[in-house]
């Protein structure tokens, strides 16, 4: 079965850029989606089709996907960005999630 | 307000059954694929199942095949998950999610309902 791998945690200083990787075998040939989950809340879509932002998501959020790695990039990181971030792709009819990365802004 | 509201979770013994419901408000589920995703508290997300807008097609994760059944009642604007032969490892928060065909992603999530399987 297909797997997506994310580092358990990433730390970034306020105002700096956070890069959250998501690796998988030829993930660049698939569309990747990113979800943000704040403590006690449900997940929320922040990136779809590798690079696109749903309405309401700030331009600070961007994505890329090539080869074996997709990346969520958050520029000008803020305390409000602290959350768990999950990548997701489709393996045929099955949605596959990465294990999630906890982003700490400090 | 557009929202999904799950219900039906609770404590059940191993081998038991539960039926989860997910009621939509503020929009009609009629035109959308709907999904169930679960999360063990403190752990990651795990896709469980999906059902086509008209109910004619369903898919399941391997770990629930033959035990769980997804269904929907578009007239009641409600999604269901019948869970049988429950195991301790099925203990999790179960979310229903609306699939947005433009985004190809899950754009609306419920608040989740907790299922605990224990003797």
| Contact yes or no for B104 and A33 at CB 8 A | yes
Residue whose C-alpha is closest to residue A23's, from A72, A84, A58: A72
- Taken in order B39, A48, A57, A21, the sign of the CA dihedral is positive
pLDDT band for position A80 (50/70/90)?
A: very high
> pLDDT confidence of A60, banded at 50, 70, 90?
very high
Q: Of B6, B36, B45, B62, which to mutate for an interface test with A (greatest number of A Cβ within 10 Å)?
A: B45
- Whether B59 sits inside 8 A of A52 (CB atoms) is no
Report the alpha-carbon distance of residue B106 to residue B119 in Å, rounded.
34
pLDDT in tens, B58-90: 999 999 999 999 999 999 999 999 999 999 999
Each residue's pLDDT tens digit, A17-48: 999 999 999 999 999 999 999 999 999 999 99
Query: Helices H, strands E: what count in chain A?
Result: 0, 9
Q: What is the pLDDT of residue B102?
A: 87
Retrieve residue A4's tokens. Answer: 């997506």
The C-alpha atoms of residue A63 and residue A53 are separated, in whole angstroms, by 9
Query: Which residues of chain B are under the pLDDT cut of 70?
Result: none
Q: What residues of A are in contact with residue B47 (Cβ under 8 Å)?
A: 94-97
pLDDT at A71 over 90: yes
């Amino acid at each position: 079965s297909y797997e997506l791998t994310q580092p358990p945690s990433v730390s970034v200083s306020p105002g700096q850029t956070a890069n959250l990787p998501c690796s998988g075998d030829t993930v660049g040939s698939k569309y990747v989606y990113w979800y943000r989950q704040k403590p006690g809340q449900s997940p929320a879509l922040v990136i779809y089709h590798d690079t696109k932002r749903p309405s309401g998501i700030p331009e600070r959020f961007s994505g890329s996907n090539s080869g074996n790695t997709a990346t969520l990039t958050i520029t000008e990181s803020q305390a409000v960005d602290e959350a768990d971030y999950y990548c997701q792709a489709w393996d045929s009819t099955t949605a596959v999630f990465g294990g999630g990365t906890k982003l700490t802004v400090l | 307000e557009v929202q999904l509201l799950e219900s039906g979770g609770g404590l059940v013994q191993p081998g038991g059954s539960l039926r989860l419901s997910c009621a939509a408000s503020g929009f009609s589920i009629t035109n959308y694929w709907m999904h169930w995703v679960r999360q063990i508290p403190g752990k990651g997300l795990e896709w469980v199942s999906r059902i086509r807008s008209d109910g004619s097609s369903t898919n399941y994760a391997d770990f629930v095949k033959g035990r769980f059944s997804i269904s929907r009642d578009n007239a009641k604007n409600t999604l269901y998950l019948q869970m049988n032969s429950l195991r301790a490892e099925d203990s999790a928060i179960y979310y229903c999610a609306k699939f947005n065909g433009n985004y190809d992603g899950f754009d609306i999530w419920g608040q989740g309902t907790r299922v605990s399987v224990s003797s």
